Amino acid sequence: MQTKIEKINASSALAIKIIEGENEEDLSFLSFREKLAMANISHPEKQLEWISSRRAIFDATNALGIEYPGFFKDEHGKSQAMDEKGHVSLSHTKGVATAIYHKVRPVGIDLEFIREKVVAIGPRFLAKEELEFLITNPVHFTMAWSAKESIFKCLGKRGVSFREHIRLAPFEMNSETISGTVQGHDYQIQVSQMENLILTYTIW
């Protein structure tokens, strides 16, 4: 599995894993609870995505010199550290998985394939003002979608509407940062494109 690890600063790191072939990972780092959750995923491809995203957390914590604490899902579906220290967010899709870890601040990360259909569903997740500045281009729309997913995951609560509550400031298709606001808090979202994927992340 090819891995890219980025140490963002002394408190935070992210890892991206390209999933190729069968699982060859040593799973001994997983907690008993995580092994049970993994065993419940019947689809082999989905299970491999799940494993790869946990391995990405392992690599990110390792880059910071932190022992993998094990994670459980809270009532909103967000992963929480079993030692109650640090924050994590993860994303996985066909062939790729990623995770970000921060020692003290909540984080959100998202990976999305650039697909034509995102333009058509724009009015479902974008406000009128956002639709006005976006070019009719799947890259621009995917950046907006993914930025909102990262903010949503950083918040970690259900009941937040992408269209009604999360507002993005105008940005260009080559922007590396997007500004967003929700519940009175301003977020800076980092954006990058890797072939046909958009990666975004934000730190509270």
| Residues near ligand COA, by CB under 6 A | 50, 53, 73, 76-79, 89-93, 110, 124-125, 149, 152-153, 156, 158, 162
Nearer residue to ligand COA within complex by CB, 47 or 175: 47
- What is the nearest approach in angstroms of ligand COA to the Cβ of residue 190? 16
CA distance linking residue 127 with residue 48, whole number of Å: 36
- What is the nearest approach in angstroms of ligand COA to the Cβ of residue 9? 22
User: Among 80, 57, 53, 84, which Cα is nearest to 68's?
Assistant: 57
Residue number with the shortest CB distance to ligand COA?
77
Among the residues of the chain, which ranges form H helices? 32-39, 44-63, 117-120, 122-125, 128-133, 138-155
**Contact, 86 vs 103, CB < 8 A?**
yes
Both structure tokens of 32 = 């008993």
Nearer residue to ligand COA within complex by CB, 91 or 171: 91
Nearer residue to ligand COA within complex by CB, 8 or 34: 34
- What is the nearest approach in angstroms of ligand COA to the Cβ of residue 79? 5
Both structure tokens of 113 = 């394939």
